């Protein structure tokens, strides 16, 4: 890769920084919502950030949670 191609790539990256930010954040937000809804179904609250920061590991953790004692099924 020559210097002009690298410079063009850096220019493109800096121009569309919001697209790259969205590409990074959207899957984390979706996983956070998914883990939160699954935890709520099991009787727990507040697991959005577990899915947001830990993605698949957080989802596996929430799947492994037992049903809450006060869960009315």
* pLDDT exceeds cutoff 60 at 73: no
Asked if residue 42 lies in contact with residue 67, where contact means CB atoms within 8 angstroms, the answer is yes
Surface-to-core class of residue 60, CB atoms within 10 Å of its CB (0-12 exposed, 13-18 middle, 19+ buried):
exposed
Q: In whole angstroms, give the CA distance from residue 67 to residue 73.
A: 9
H-assigned helices in the chain: 3-15, 17-42, 48-63
Structure pTM?
Answer: 0.75
Q: What pLDDT, in 10s, does the model give residues 14-66?
A: 888 888 899 999 999 999 999 999 999 999 999 999 999 999 999 999 999 99
Q: Give me 28's structure tokens.
A: 């984390």
Question: Hunting for tokens 């698949």 — which residue is that?
Answer: 56
Q: How confident is the model at residue 72 (pLDDT cuts 50, 70, 90)?
A: low
Report pLDDT for 17: 85
């Amino acid at each position: 890769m020559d210097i002009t191609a690298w410079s063009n790539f850096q220019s493109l990256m800096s121009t569309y920084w919001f697209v790259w930010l969205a590409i990074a954040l959207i899957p984390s937000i979706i996983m956070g919502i998914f883990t939160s809804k699954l935890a709520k179904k099991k009787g727990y609250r507040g697991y959005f950030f577990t899915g947001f920061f830990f993605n698949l590991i957080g989802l596996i953790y929430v799947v492994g949670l037992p049903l809450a004692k006060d869960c009315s099924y």
